[in-house]
Amino acid sequence: MPPNRRKVTLADVAKACQVSPATVSLVLRNKPGVGEDTRAKVMGMAQDMGYLLRNVTTANVCKNGIKNIGLVIKINPTDIANNNNFYALVMGGIETSCRQQNINLVYGNLPVNNVNIPTEVPHFLTDADVDGFILVGMQVTASLVALLQQRSLPAVLVDAYAENPSLFDMVVTDNLTGGYRATRHLIELGHTRILLAGSMPEAYPSIRERREGYLRAMAEAGLTPRFADSDLWTHAVQPAVQQAFENDPDISAVFTANDDLAIAVIRTIQRMGKRIPEDVSVIGFDDIKLSKHITPSLTTMVVDKMEMGRMSINMLIDRIHNPEGGRVHSTILPRLIERESTAEFHG
Q: In what order do the strands lie in the sheet with 169-173?
A: 104-111, 68-75, 133-136, 155-158, 169-173, 329-332
Higher pLDDT, 62 or 266: 266
Instruction: Report pLDDT for 2.
Output: 39
pLDDT of residue 60: 43
- Rounded to two decimals, the pTM is 0.79
Max Cα-Cα span within the chain: 86
Map residue 73 onto helix, strand or coil: strand
Using CA atoms, how far residue 136 sits from 35, 111, 347, in Å, is: 32, 12, 43
Model confidence pLDDT, tens digit, residues 177-198? 999 999 999 999 999 999 999 9
- Lowest-confidence pick of 12-16, 62-66, 252-256: 62-66
Kindly report which listed range (67-81, 204-218, 235-249, 303-317) carries the lowest average pLDDT score: 67-81
Q: Evaluate if residue 323 carries a pLDDT over 60.
A: yes
Burial 108-144, CB ≥16 within 10 A → b, else e? bebebeebbebeeeeebbeebebbbbbbbbbbbeeeb
Identify the three-state secondary structure at position 110: strand
Predicted pLDDT at 10? 73
Where is mean pLDDT largest: 27-41, 68-82, 228-242? 228-242
Q: Please indicate whether residue 271 or residue 22 has the higher confidence score (pLDDT).
A: 271
CATH of range 68-173+305-334; options 3.10.20.880, 3.40.50.2300, 3.40.50.10490, 3.30.465.10:
3.40.50.2300
Are 159 and 206 contacting, i.e. CB atoms less than 8 angstroms apart?
yes
> Which secondary-structure segment (H or E) carries 74?
strand 68-75
Mean pLDDT, rounded, of the chain: 87
Residue 314: helix, strand or coil by DSSP? Answer: helix
CATH 3.40.50.2300 fits 175-303, yes or no: yes
Burial (Cβ within 10 Å: 0-12, 13-18, ≥19) of residue 207: buried
Pairing of strands 335-337, 300-302: antiparallel
> Measured between alpha carbons, how far is 70 from 248 in angstroms, rounded to an integer?
48
pLDDT for residue 1: 39
Whether the CB-CB separation of 25 and 53 falls below 8 Å is answered with no
Q: How many CA atoms lie within 13 A of 121 on its CB side?
A: 13
Beta strands in 95-209 (DSSP E): 104-111, 133-136, 139-140, 155-158, 161-162, 169-173, 194-197
Percent of the chain residues past pLDDT 70, beyond the cut: 89
Residue 112 has pLDDT above 50, yes or no: yes
Domain with CATH 3.40.50.2300 in the chain: 68-173+305-334, 175-303
Is 121 a residue whose pLDDT tops 50? yes
Q: Taking each helix axis from N to C terminus, what angle separates 36-49 and 21-28, rounded to the nearest 10 degrees?
A: 90
Residues 35-62: what's their mean pLDDT? 61
Residue 2: cis peptide before it, omega within 30 degrees of 0? no
Sign (positive/negative) of CA torsion 80, 81, 87, 93?
positive
330 and 312 in contact (C-beta within 8 Å)? no
- Is 60 exceeded by the pLDDT of residue 43? yes
Condensed to tens digits (0 to 9), the pLDDT of residues 148-163 reads 888 889 999 999 999 9
Closest CA to 313 of 64, 111, 61: 64
CB burial of residue 289 (10 Å; 0-12, 13-18, 19+) = exposed
Q: Write the pLDDT tens digit of every residue in 252-281.
A: 999 999 999 999 999 999 999 999 999 999
Q: Tell me, what's the pLDDT at 7?
A: 64
Q: Are 154 and 140 in contact (CB under 8 A)?
A: no
> Are the beta carbons of 69 and 132 closer than 8 angstroms?
yes
Q: Which residues of 38-52 are buried (b: 16+ CB within 10 A; e: fewer)?
A: bbebbbebbeeeebe
Give the pLDDT score at 48: 65
